[in-house]
Amino acid sequence: MASHRRPKQPSRTRVTVLTTAAAAAVAFSANAANAAPSAKLSKTEVKAKVDKLYEEAEQASEKYDGAKEKQEKLQKEISTIQDNVARGQQDLNKLRDGLGSMATAQYRSGGIDPSVQLFLSSNPDDYLDKASTLDQLSSQQVEALREIQDKQRELAQERAEATEKLKDLASTRTALGKKKQEVQDKLAEARKLYNTLTAKEKAALAAEQNRASRSSTERVNLGDAPAGSSRAAAAFAAAQTRIGSPYQWGATGPSTFDCSGLTSWAYAQAGVSIPRTSEAQANAGTRIYNQSDLKVGDLIIFFGDYHHVGLYAGNGQVLHAPHTGAVVRYEAMSNMTFEFGVRIS
Residues with a catalytic annotation lie at: 259, 308, 320
**Element holding 300 (H helix, E strand):** strand 299-302
DSSP 126-143: HHHT-HHHHTTS-HHHHH
Closest alpha carbon to 148 in 125, 114, 182: 125
The single-letter DSSP state of residue 330 is: E
Q: How far apart are CA 101 and CA 207, in angstroms?
A: 83
Q: Are strands 338-343 and 317-320 parallel, antiparallel or unpaired?
A: unpaired
Q: How far apart are CA 151 and CA 191, in angstroms?
A: 59
Axis-axis angle for helices 43-108, 259-269 (nearest 10)? 60
Q: Is the peptide bond before 254 cis (omega within 30 degrees of 0)?
A: yes
DSSP helix, strand, coil percent of the chain (3-state; round to 5)? 60, 10, 30
Closest alpha carbon to 152 in 92, 111, 87, 101: 92
Q: How far is CA 335 from the centre of its chain?
A: 26
The single-letter DSSP state of residue 39 is: P
